[in-house]
Amino acid sequence: MWKNLYAWLDERLSLGSLYKIILDRPEPKGNWWNTLGSASLFLFLLQGVTGIFLSVYYTPSPDHAYDSIEYIMNGVAFGWLIRGIHHWGASLMVLIVFIHMLRVFVTASFKYPRELTWLVGVGLLLLTLGMGFTGYLLPWNQRAYWATTVGTEIAGSVPLLGAFIEKSLRGGADLSALTLARFFAAHIWMLPAALAGLIGVHLYLIIKHGESQWPNKDD
Q: Which residues bind other proteins (CB under 8 A)?
A: 53, 56-57, 59, 64, 67-68, 70-71, 75-79, 81-82
Is the Cβ of residue 1 or residue 77 nearer to other proteins in the bound state? 77
Q: How far is the CB of 30 from other proteins (least distance, A)?
A: 15
Q: Which is nearer to other proteins, 69 or 97 (CB)?
A: 69
Smallest distance from other proteins to CB 56, Å = 7
Nearer to other proteins by Cβ, of 43 and 205: the residue is: 43
Nearest to 68 by CA among 78, 52, 56: 56
Nearer to other proteins, 56 or 193 (CB): 56
CB 191 within 8 A of CB 130: yes
Exposure string for 150-189, b = 16+ CB within 10 A, e = fewer: ebbeebbeeeeeeeeebeebbbeeebeeebbebbbebbbe
- Nearest CA to 90 out of 40, 38, 132, 141 is that of 132
| Residue among 71, 74, 82 at smallest CA distance from 48 | 82
Question: Closest separation between CB of residue 117 and other proteins, Å?
Answer: 29
Least distance (Å) from other proteins to the CB of residue 21? 21
49-58: list long-range contacts, CB under 8 Å, 24+ apart: 50/82, 50/83, 50/85, 50/86, 50/89, 51/86, 51/188, 51/192, 53/82, 54/82, 54/83, 54/86, 55/188, 58/138
Query: Minimum CB separation from other proteins for residue 204, in Å?
Result: 27
CB nearer other proteins, residue 71 or residue 98:
71
The residue (of 60 and 121) whose beta carbon lies closer to other proteins is 60
Minimal distance in Å, beta carbon 118 to other proteins?
Answer: 32
Q: Is 40 within 8 Å of 100 (Cβ atoms)?
A: yes
